[in-house]
Amino acid sequence: MIERFTDGQVASFQRDGFLIVEEGLVSDKALELLRQRYERLFDGEYETGIKPDEVNWVKSRDPEDRTRQICNGWRADNIIAAQVLSARTGRLAAQLMGYRGVRILQDNELWKPPGAKAIGFHQDGSYADYLVPPEMTTCWISLHDTAADAGPIAYVRGSHLWPKSPPIRSQFHAPDDWLAGVRAAAPEGQALEIVPVVVTAGGGSFHHNLIWHGSEPNTNETVARMALVSHMIRVEARFHERNVDLIYSRYRRRGDLSLEESFFPVMWDESGYRTPWLSELPSIDE
């Protein structure tokens, strides 16, 4: 299991806007448990009795050719929470971004079966203006071996150095052209070097909030992919005084811009602090 990145890996992240980690982000024990919990979660079985903040695909309601997505499944399932809120993940993200500590903002549970359509290219930071500072870093972990034709996450190398663009809303899920946003944002004459994340189960990637990324359709006839995502923010981040998010600003208390640790727990801090209730989660990191 990876405990710390090398200086070369940190330099690669800063240059490219992402870092691919071929293996070692999740234990074998955790992989099996997480796959089982995904099945239940997407069947609407919530261990804690709490529904995730967003359920963007429901069986028998939504088309089978859509990427299945749940946001903040960690609130619904303690096994998922144990991985999403991992101290190791937080420490590695903080090292890459130069943060003194990180807390969770949001997770994603993604399931892309054969035939599923694309996710449009976008910048995560475009959706963070309700926070101060309006930024994050992301860990994407694959629960299966990935294949280039199965629609894994893909990055445009170096695009985190481009300006921040407005958020993409209407052509996010199953877009007509999954590259439309990044083509429009690219500096004139800029070629797009698209890098898919092809890793073994338990591998994945970290990426900067301004890197352009998305995933093409899954054209592989047999390979599905499940991915678990942790979006992390600086430990000292706060809500913006005026800007709000339709969903996540519900956790903002009146007259208080701080992030409550019941909803945005501290995953890792250089002081050694970690939100106390995280110790109650099951141990899957073996």
Per-residue model confidence as pLDDT tens digits over 3-44? 899 999 999 999 999 999 999 999 888 999 999 999 899 999
- For the chain, which residues make up each domain, given as ranges? 7-278
DSSP state of 42: H
Which of these, 214, 208, 270, 276, lies nearest to 16 by C-alpha position? 208
User: Is this structure's pTM higher than 0.85?
Assistant: yes
pLDDT tens-digit profile of 166-181?
887 766 776 778 888 8
* d(C-alpha 57, C-alpha 69), whole Å: 6
Question: 7-278: what fold?
Answer: Jelly Rolls (2.60.120)
Are 120 and 171 in contact by the 8 Å Cβ rule? The answer is yes
Residue 286: per-residue pLDDT = 57
Tokens matching residue 61 = 């309601």
